Amino acid sequence: MTVLQTVTAGIALVGAAIFLAGVIYNITSGQLRRYQAEKAPIKGSPAQGVLWAFSLGLAPWAKESARIHWVAYLRGVIVHLGIFITAPYLIATPWLELMPEPLRIFLAAYFGICALLGLVGFSMRRADPGLRLLSTPDDYFSLGLVTVFLALASASAASTQFLPAFWVLSGITLAYAPFGKIKHFMYFFYERVFVGLVFGRRGTLEWKHE
């Protein structure tokens, strides 16, 4: 490993340490907040509700906004899946040259598509008056950061000469993630659990009769 690679890999590790500390802080502070349990009698199965929330509850037909905006829904799925895949990819990058070439080509292409769809996100926010009104500087910064991150992931998968740049941006992205808009990845799991518990407890799930 060259001096440049050592330094940039160190930046990525520092970013990972900040990321881990930030995630622990957010989860710990969130857990300290008092949960107001429902007092109404249980009419269904909370466990079945949680199962629904992490399965059929994620389907586009389960949400009106997704049901009427299929293109935006598919774009979101593709981009978020790409971001999820970059986690094990980043861990594997020190041994990138040992990775099978077909896999590297696939990852380069997929990450590249995700980066392009990230750019589409900017035009979507500007084109929709309601979304444009709700968008904050952090929304645009986070979207831009993730888009460049995916673009460099694509470039590094295609050629190892881009690894130092990818590691530097990985460190920056990881360090920023727990404190900016990107931190919503943590609350996604809380939201799914709470939605499942509420609808399951109330017995309002359609599949409970099946």
Instruction: Encode 3-37 in three state secondary structure.
Output: HHHHHHHHHHHHHHHHHHHHHHHHHHHHHCCCCCC
Q: Specify the pTM.
A: 0.84
Give the closest residue to 174 by CA, choosing from 2, 12, 34: 12
What pLDDT digit, counting tens, does each position of 13-72 carry? 999 999 999 999 988 888 787 777 777 788 888 888 888 888 888 877 777 666 677 788
Question: What are the sequence ranges of the domains in the chain?
Answer: 42-204
**CB 18, CB 170: distance < 8 Å:** no
Write the pLDDT tens digit of every residue in 82-141: 999 999 999 999 999 999 999 999 999 999 999 999 999 888 888 888 888 888 899 999
